[in-house]
Each structure stands twice: as structure tokens, then as C-alpha cells.
Structure 1
Amino acid sequence: MKNLHIQLLMSQSRFAEAEPLIRQELEKDIADAGLLCLLSISLSRQNKTKGAMEAAREAVRLEPESDQAHFALALALSERKDLRGALASAKEALRLDPDDVQNYALNAQILTEMMKHSAAIKMAEQGLQIDPENETCRFYRSVLLGRQGRQLEADEQSLELLADEPDDETSHCARGWVLIHSGDGLGAEQHFIEALRIDPNHEDARDGLAEALKIQNPLVGLIYKGLSLIGRTSIWAVVIGVIVAGQVARFLRSQDDPAIQMTGVILNVVFYLFLTLILIAPALADLTLFASSRGRLAMTALQKHGVRWWIVPLLIGCGHFLWWSVFGGRLGPLQSMGWCAIAALIHETYQYPQSWVRKRMLGVATVLLVTMLVTEYSNAVILRPMRIEMIPDSLLSNAKTIPAKETIADLQTRLETYIKTRSYLVVYPALAVLLIGCLRDNIADWFVRRSPDAE
């Protein structure tokens, strides 16, 4: 009877209530692999991923041929952001029981998180061949069709799901995501609000509502459409395009014709603006949410708290960019993107509920902040005087008496010293900050995989 009660709680997503009951049953039989699987799943759903993984590994040890044990382990690993390990376990669960549609659904979910959309759609479609009514497979198929630009198919699938389950939050989320990918932010907003009415704690609906409000802002919507287009483009095409654009801007600026030079300057500003917007797009989108009362409803308390911390480096970065756009200079874009990288990393920090992860991410951000402050100090206190003293008065006054070769050699020595000092004090540190900021997702995932469960 108690097992039936546990199953009922699990089916109703009441995982916090199911956990103590499962533990009570495990006290009677610690080697019950089925109960360990249930414990692992309930812990995963509560974001207690370390305990979930331990329970799932024990279940696999006790019953290595149990697809449910591998399913539980895959779920725990995916929540812990170990997607490769999760996919391996999910595939093993599918091999052990190819007739269980939930195994296909989990594979589709993990492949989606790995951005392998074609493989995820194929997995969802295979699951639908077994159970055409499976909600999870239908959800992922409709959403992924929308991401791939197959809008007619996505509309058909999501509308069918909504017609079959009009009072289900997942159906409204599926329809909302499809509308987002088609650019209909207002329609998507209505569906996500309905999903939140049905389940006020539905995280996917909250994330979807945030995205719907973002794309209704013209600037942010344009940025997201561009990012979506880039996401469907080969990474090599994007890299080649960035390199070519940078070289074209440099070539135009080197020409003698002032009109061509100005064209090169404008192209150079647009080029760095594009790179900066890619870097800060998520933070910029959250800023538009924070600026409106409706938008703040779609943000978690942590996200709203984080705004006051990452807005400062973002404003500093924007200030550097505007100053460079008007007055020029070599270090402007690098310093601007360095500060924006810090803002992006702090913004990423407040997307995670685990305090253990946030503390370590903030530690990384503190190191980067100190590094950028050192570059600012070095540029103002060390490099600026070196630039002023590059050609001292004594050298100018003796220009007629000092041989030309000696003058040029002295200037060359001063210039080489300046460039070397600038590289070590500003360029290399700022590049390191930018690189770490661009890898913020990977850094956060690394910490998530090693985080202990919340007490």
C-alpha cells in the first residue's frame, strides 16, 4: 500500500513528499533496486543531484540489467550537466528495454540539451511510433521542429498536443515555444501565462514567458533572431564570416581615400558591436525584463538580485565602447568586451539555484574583476605616461644634430618597450578575461557536476 502511495506522489510530481516515504521503505530493504531508482528520480527532480547519482549507481550495481536503473542514472547525470555520461546511460536503458517510450523521451531530452536537434527529433519520432500519445515525445518533436525552422510541422504537432490536453501545462509550453521560434511573442506569452496558471512552479513555463517578453522588445527581438539564425548556421561559417568582416574593415581603414577610410571605421564599429551583443545578449534580455513589471514576474528572485551586481560592469563596458566609437584607440574594444565578459559571467552565476555553485562562480568573477581593474590602472598610470614620453622634448630639440639612424633606433626601442608593456599589462589579461567570460557556461557546468546537494 505504501508503494502505491509513493507511486501516486511521484506521478503527481510531489517529489519532496515521496522522498521520506521511499527512505522509510529502504530502511527495511537497503538492496531494493526499484526503490533506489525511485529515490534517485525524486532527488533529481529536487535538484539534489549528488544523492540522486549515488542512489542510481547503487541501483545499477545491484541490477546492472535494469533499464530503470540506467534511466535513473541518466536523469541524475543530465541534471548534473554531465550530458555525455547521461546520453551513454540513456542509450543503455534504451538497449535494455527498446519498448519503453520513456527511454526514447529521455534520450530526446538529453540530445536536445546537447543541441543535437536532428538526432533528438529522430528519437522522439521513434518513441511516438511506440506510443503516439506520449506527451514528452510530442513536446520535444514540436519544439525542435520549430527550432529547425520547420514551422508548418511544428504548428501541426503543437496544436494537436494542445487539442488533446488543453488543460495541461506542458501542452501550453510546447505551443508557446513554437510561437517563440516563429516570432510571435504575444501569442507565446499567453500560452506561458496559462501554463503558469495551471502550475505556478513550472520552470519551463517561467523560462518561456521570459523569452516571450524578450522578443517583444524590438532590439532584443532582433538580437535573438540573429542568434537563432547563427545557431542554425555552421560554426565554421560563423567563424569565417567574423574573420572576413574583421579583415575587410582593416583593409578599408588602410586606404588613402577618406570616404573609404570612414566606411572601414563604421564597419569596424559594427563588427565589434556585433561581437559584444552576442556576448551580452542574455544579460541584455534580462535587463529588458527587469525594466517592466510584467517582465519581473518572469524572473526568479535570484535573477532579480543578480541584476544589481552585473549591471555595473555592463555599464563600464558600454562606456568603453562608446568612448572608443567616438575617439578611437587600440585598447577600447578589448577593454569593453572584457568588462562585458564579467557582466555575462555574473549574469550566468545567478541562473543557478545552488549556492555552492554561485559562490565559486562569484569567486571566478572576483578574480576577473581584479584583473580588469589592474588593466585600467596600468593603462592610466603606466601606459599613458609612456605614450607621452615616447618622443621626449630633448629628442625633438636635438632632431637636427642627432643622426637620423640613431633617432629612428631610439624611437624603435621606445616603441617596442611600450608594445611589450602594453601586451603584458593590458592585452593578455583582458584577452584572458574575455576567454573565461565566453566559457562561462562550461565553467558553470563544471561546478554543477561537482556541487554537493543542498542541505
Structure 2
Amino acid sequence: MESKNHLRGVQLFELGRFQEAITYLSEAVAESVYNYPSKYYLALSYFNVSDYTKSSQIIDELLSETPNEGNLFFLKAQIASRLDKLQDAIALVNKSIELDPYQADYFGFKGALLMDKKKFEEALYFVNEGLQLDPKNAACLNIRARLLTKLNRKEEANQTVEHILFDNAEDDYAHANVGWVSLENGDTKKALHHFKQALQLNPNMQYAREGMATAIKSKNVLYKWYLQYAFWMSKQSSRNQWIFIIGLYVAYRLGVKVLEASDLTFLVIPLIIVYLVFVLGGWIMESLSNTILLGDSYGKYLLTDNEKYSGYAFGGLTLAGIVGVILFFALHNPLYMLWGFTCFCALLPLPGSFLRNSKNGRMIGLFYGITMLCVGFLGMLFTTDIMLVGGIVLGMMVIYTWVFNFIS
């Protein structure tokens, strides 16, 4: 006869009340230390409250008792993925497939991991293998739609989307995923519809909230252009991204030289502006759009706390920069121009630091931006050469664009 604590724990788990489930399942495990089902659900509960250390400990105990359970390696693979240990996650899900090659979810998860590594064709192969086992597997169908979109096979992607919605009309994740696919295909109206559906089904779904915010931002023509560029860049390998960036810089330098040699110097300034907008747009566009959403009566509720901080930082620095430039022309004091210039340069590291995924990345970006502001505002205490201070600030900005992301 099954333990009452186990039955109650499983019931709470299925209701999504994981913290409460942990209490009952822990009691069930204490009643019988060799209780596999209770231990497994306890590991799942800890996983769902992001306590990966305790979840891993329980899984390792279970593996010492039953070393050939594919679902245990699958859960370990998901933990490794959450901890950004991509290679470990792939090795673990491979073990799951080796032990139990008839679970479509394993193949779908491997496809998702390979998609993160931008191995789209290989990922599609494994997702299709999963669909051979279960043609209606929601995870495989959702990942397949995203992969086909990234491979520019839009007609097949649309067919897969229709398949997803036909079988999962009340699935919040399916609607959110269709929204992202539509957004990547440039259909903002359709994306908004499906994000709205997802949030009606699950108001707390972060994946859908982020999608809704992005879709609202994309109503702005400039941001929509940036978003399509970002989607395109996300399909490229890291190597190809660097080749493109360096190639763009070389083309810009050659363009300037050709224009100067052809007595078309009046076109040099517009070329420089276009180049800076193109290159630096990616650094500031998210923060700029967050600032815009802060002024939207509905959009501001879609922003996370970090996105709000990013928007406030961008808006504050922009306003301070404009004030500095106005004061320079009004009072003819170059110090105000230096301060305004410093604020504009700090737009790259400071607002974007709040949007970084890792805590270390946020702290480094924040420290770098504050240091840049200190140099610009306090530098004249150590030298009388205002051009030197401005040059240091500019150099810090250039170093940030070329080095910081590569290191992080």
C-alpha cells in the first residue's frame, strides 16, 4: 500500500505546488529509504524550485541503486542545461537515449541542446526521430517549428505551427512558441495574438511575457529592423559573427578611403553615422526600447525589474547627455560637452549591464560603466587636458565594444 504522504506529495506536485510537495515527499522517503517513486518525485520537485544541488544528490542516490534508468540521466541532463553546462547535458541525454531509445522527449531535448549550439540540421534530425516515435509530441513539434524557421524553411514551419495548435489549442507554451516563430518570420500581428493567448492561459509565463514585450517593441520600425538583424545574427556561429563584424569594419574603412580619394568627402560623415548606428545599435536598442515601454501605460507591466532599471539608466543618461550639450552651447564651457559626451558613451555598458544573464556579467558591466562616468566627470581633477580625458572615455567605449563581449 502506497504511503499517504507519497500520494499527497504527488498530488501537490501535479498541481504545481512544488514546495509543499517537498514536505510530504520528504516524509514519504523517511518512512522507507528505498522508496524509488517518492525519491524521484522529490528530485523533480527540487528541480522545479531550482534547487539543483539537492535534486542532483537524490538522483545520484537513485543511480547507485538503479544505474540503468534513462529518466534519471534525462533529469541530470536538464539540470546540466539549466547550469549552462551544455556539453555535459548532451552527454547525459545521449546516455538516456542509449538506455531507453523509445522516449520522444529525449530526442526533443537533444534537438533543443543542439539548437543552442546552432547545429540546426543535426538538431532537426533528432527532433524528427522523436516525432517518428510520437508524431504528436508537443516538445518535438515546438522545437521543430523553431528549427525550420531558423533554416528559412518557412512553409514547413507554418505547417508545423498549425499542427501544434490543432493538438494543443489550450497549451500556453505552444501559443508562446508560435508567437516567437511568428515574430521571427516578421508577422508581429500574429505574434501578439498568440502571446496574448498564452498569457490568458498562464498569466505568469515569463517566456510569453518576454515575447509580448518584444512584439510591442517591434511596432517601432527601427526596432523591428534591429530585431530581424538580431534573429539573423543568432543563426550564425560565433566564428561567422566575428567574421561579419570585422568584415563590416574593413568595408567601412575602405569606403571612407574611396570617398576621400574621389573628392566625395561630404559623404564621409553620413557613412560614419550609418556605420555607428548599425554597429552600436545592437548595444543600445534593447535598453532604448525598454525606456520607450516605460512610458507605455500597458507595456511597462511587461518589463522585469532588470529591464526597468535598464530603461531608467538609458533614459537618465540620454537626458544628462542632452543637458550637457545644451549647456555647452549656452555657456561655451567645454567641460559640459565632456560630461555630455561621457553620458552618451556610457549608454553602451551601463544600461545593458542590467540585461545580462549572469550575475558576474551584470556586475562587470555595471562597474565598467560607473568607472567610465568617474573618468569623464572626475578626470579634470588630475589633468588640465580636456581632450585627453575625452579620448580616454572614447577609448574605454571602443574597448568595451570589441573586448567585453568576447571575454564574457
Deviations 1:112-135 (A, max 9, x none): 334433333222111111011111
Match in the other structure for 1:246:
252
Among 312, 324, 335, the residue aligned to 1:308: 312
Among 277, 284, 290, the residue aligned to 2:288: 284
Q: Name structure 2 gaps, 5 residues minimum.
A: 328-333
Deviations 1:189-214 (A, max 9, x none): 11111111111222222222122212
Give TM-score, length-normalised by structure 2.
0.82
Kindly state the Cα deviation for residue 186 of structure 1 after the two structures are TM-superposed.
1.6
Match in the other structure for 2:351:
343
Q: 1:133 to 1:274 in 2, by over 3 A?
A: same
Contact 1:217 1:288 (C-alpha < 8 Å) held by counterparts: no
Contact 2:284 2:347 (C-alpha < 8 Å) held by counterparts: no
Q: 1:278 to 1:422 in 2, by over 3 A?
A: closer
> Identity percentage over the alignment?
21
Between the aligned partners of 1:170 and 1:342, the Cα distance in structure 2 is 33
What SS does the aligned partner of 2:156 have? helix
Q: Which moved more, 1:338-347 or 1:69-78?
A: 338-347
1:270 has 2:278 as partner: no
Between the aligned partners of 1:171 and 1:429, the Cα distance in structure 2 is 44
Match in the other structure for 2:297:
293
Between the aligned partners of 1:238 and 1:361, the Cα distance in structure 2 is 24
Q: 1:179 to 1:253 in 2, by over 3 A?
A: same
Kindly state the Cα deviation for residue 246 of structure 1 after the two structures are TM-superposed.
2.9
1:129 has 2:132 as partner: yes
Q: 1:175 to 1:363 in 2, by over 3 A?
A: closer
Between the aligned partners of 2:321 and 2:93, the Cα distance in structure 1 is 43
Match in the other structure for 1:376:
376
Contact 1:372 1:429 (C-alpha < 8 Å) held by counterparts: yes
Kindly state the Cα deviation for residue 240 of structure 1 after the two structures are TM-superposed.
4.1
Match in the other structure for 2:241:
235
Among 156, 159, 165, the residue aligned to 2:159: 156
Q: 1:334 to 1:7 in 2, by over 3 A?
A: same
Aligned 1:11-410 pairs, distance under 5 A:
11-30=14-33, 32=35, 34-233=37-236, 234-252=240-258, 254-255=260-261, 257=263, 260-313=264-317, 336-348=344-356, 357=359, 363-377=363-377, 380=380, 385=385
Kindly state the Cα deviation for residue 316 of structure 1 after the two structures are TM-superposed.
6.0
Between the aligned partners of 2:71 and 2:58, the Cα distance in structure 1 is 12
Contact 1:314 1:340 (C-alpha < 8 Å) held by counterparts: no
Deviations 1:29-82 (A, max 9, x none): 445555444333322322333333343344444443321221111111212222
AA of the residue aligned to 1:185: T
Contact 2:74 2:106 (C-alpha < 8 Å) held by counterparts: yes
AA of the residue aligned to 1:297: Y
CA RMSD of aligned residues (A): 3.6
AA of the residue aligned to 1:87: I
Q: Which moved more, 1:18-27 or 1:182-191?
A: 18-27
Q: 1:177 to 1:428 in 2, by over 3 A?
A: closer
Contact 2:223 2:285 (C-alpha < 8 Å) held by counterparts: yes
Contact 2:345 2:393 (C-alpha < 8 Å) held by counterparts: no
Kindly state the Cα deviation for residue 219 of structure 1 after the two structures are TM-superposed.
1.6
AA of the residue aligned to 2:204: N
Kindly state the Cα deviation for residue 158 of structure 1 after the two structures are TM-superposed.
0.9
Between structure 1 and structure 2, the one with the greater Rg is: 1
Match in the other structure for 1:412:
none
Contact 1:345 1:437 (C-alpha < 8 Å) held by counterparts: no
What SS does the aligned partner of 1:293 have? coil
Between the aligned partners of 2:120 and 2:144, the Cα distance in structure 1 is 9
Deviations 1:228-286 (A, max 9, x none): 233335325413432323322441465472xx222122211211221111112322333
